[in-house]
Structure 1
């Protein structure tokens, strides 16, 4: 049984897949350049003619190049499932097809995806309840041992306390800037980067035009003492930022009240930000952090995710 990842392009995703491939039969399913060119040509022709030209044959050709069989598993994410030639590759894949949803989506999207995937997972419990899809534990790109080794690469001790935020604006910039000002008033060093997007209207000194390369982002996380998380409205699942704080032994200031329900929650590590309370935040920043059970965190490692997905082999289609 082989496992193929299709459309996982982010640098941290590539690192995760490469790590899994070292000890598991895991592969990246790349769309060859020739197939992309043919697909673009077909799309261009479709704009000029009322005829519908199928690309299923091209999807089958891509799968045939990997000798895909019914025993294989394909894993895709919601951001790439409808891009380019991916839909044709997914539909003609002979094995078990799995969709992992990591962001907020709507009912029409789920209805469309049910037609082509055998199983749909989300890391958000509320999304699972709302759409009747399966829950999967959020997973971190590194296992506990790899994270521990990375965390020894801190460039220099943080004095004063360093607080780090990186994320797209998504209409959150005012809240983010307010939190930055509050923390700065406590003497913290603020390392915030708000990536501009279509919601960016009033720009702050923290706005930037582009996302940091992953390795640079990772180093800033490792160098920080406190990570900041501002959730989108409606988001309730365990986030990568929360796992980052746990795996890299950082404190987390978050707007996500659901972290109190996590089995590894401890008030010395996680602060729920609702409104600025100078005394409470000062105490939180100054207090030592309770150690996290590394063994318990294994449920969020890539290997555990892969094991869960593999158990799907032979299961029925979702409906």
Structure 2
């Protein structure tokens, strides 16, 4: 059985896929832009795109056999000709729901896939899909190489990276409080449609994932501020637990996570701010390697292949 990752194209997705290609021999395939443009022309003329999809499969994806596995995500399965390509591919197909979606979305996608997973454990029953832990883009074997990395003694560096999403006022206030507590602030807030005015923390675009990951490596504390109603763990949280960094967050869910300890996680609104100095001075105990493996792309690949009755590729 060969495993194909379909349309994983962002910086952090490519980080993960390159690791899996190198270590487990998976393959990475895309739908070219010219195929989507042709789809738009057919749509304008009132013609079906099934013919385009079948032609693309015959020319570019003909190595995919019935016992192979295709893994994709929710971001673009209904974009352009992708739905028809997935529909007409004769292989096992898996969909990973990385974003909050509705039951209607799941129902519309269900006929295309053999199995659907969500990263939101609390919504798996509601959506009628299986739960799969969120995973770090950096592979388990690569993340372990940072175990011996030690930061020089200095004031605690607090790192935040994310889109504004209306959080600028909250983050600015938090930065001021952390600075007064003796921290060095390394906040990069990416401007979006909610952004107003000026801020020393604003940046115009996101960083490449390799650079943002290095920022986490060089920090002491990861700041993770989620929006109301957001569940699950962000990539920053996973980076923090793999790299044994402390976390300051407003995500109360973390108090119930298997990697929580008061030395590792400071939940805003649940603890007195007066405790922050002791928190910043402490050192969390490194987590058990088996627990970290659970949140790795290696485990994701292993879980999916075994669920379909195939031998595990990742060990």
The answer to whether TM tops 0.5 is yes
Query: For the structure 1 residues 209 and 177, does the alpha-carbon distance in structure 2 shift closer, same or farther, using more than 3 Å as the test?
Result: same
- Greater CA deviation, 23-32 or 297-306? 23-32
Aligned partner of 2:152 in structure 1 is 157
The TM-score normalised by the length of structure 1 is 0.89
Aligned counterpart, 1:194: 189
What's 2:34 paired with? Answer: 37
Q: How does 1:270-309 map to 2 (within 5 A)?
A: 270-274=265-269, 277-309=272-304
Separation in 1 of the partners of 2:57 and 2:24?
20
Q: Which structure has the higher relative contact order (CA within 8 Å, separation 6+)?
A: 1
Contact (CA 8 Å) 1:3, 1:72: kept in 2 or not? yes
Q: 2:122 aligns with which of 119, 126, 139?
A: 126
Partners of 2:162 and 2:188 within 8 A in 1: yes
| In the alignment, structure 1 residue 84 sits paired with structure 2 residue 74 | no
In structure 1, list runs of 5 or more residues that go unmatched.
none
Q: 1:91 to 1:290 in 2, by over 3 A?
A: same
- Corresponding position of 2:8: 8
The structural deviation recorded for 1:295 is: 2.7
Q: Does 1:259 align with 2:254?
A: yes
TM-score (norm 2): 0.90
Residue 268 of structure 1 is matched in structure 2 by 263
Shift of 1:203: 4.0
Structure 1 residue runs of 4+, over 4 Å off?
Answer: 151-154
Moved more, 250-259 or 141-150: 141-150
**Structure 1 position 234, deviation (Å):** 1.5
Corresponding residue pairs, total = 308
Corresponding residue for residue 313 of structure 2: none
1:226 aligned to which of 218, 221, 224: 221
Q: 1:311 maps to which residue?
A: 306
Check whether the contact 2:40–2:80 (CA below 8 A) recurs between aligned residues. Answer: no
> Does residue 108 of the first structure (1) align with residue 81 of the second (2)?
no
Quote the RMSD (CA, aligned, Å): 2.2
Distance in structure 2 (CA, Å) of the matches to 1:45 and 1:94: 24
Distance in 1 between the 2:99 and 2:35 partners? 31
CA distance in structure 2 between the aligned counterparts of 1:276 and 1:177, rounded to whole angstroms: 20
Secondary structure of the equivalent of 2:23?
coil
Query: Offset at 1:152?
Result: 5.1
Equivalence for 2:71: 75
**Using a 3 Å threshold, how does the CA distance of structure 1 residues 284 and 209 change in structure 2: closer, same or farther?**
same
Aligned to 2:161: 166
CA contact (8 A) 1:226 1:251 kept: yes
Q: Report the equivalent of 1:181.
A: 176
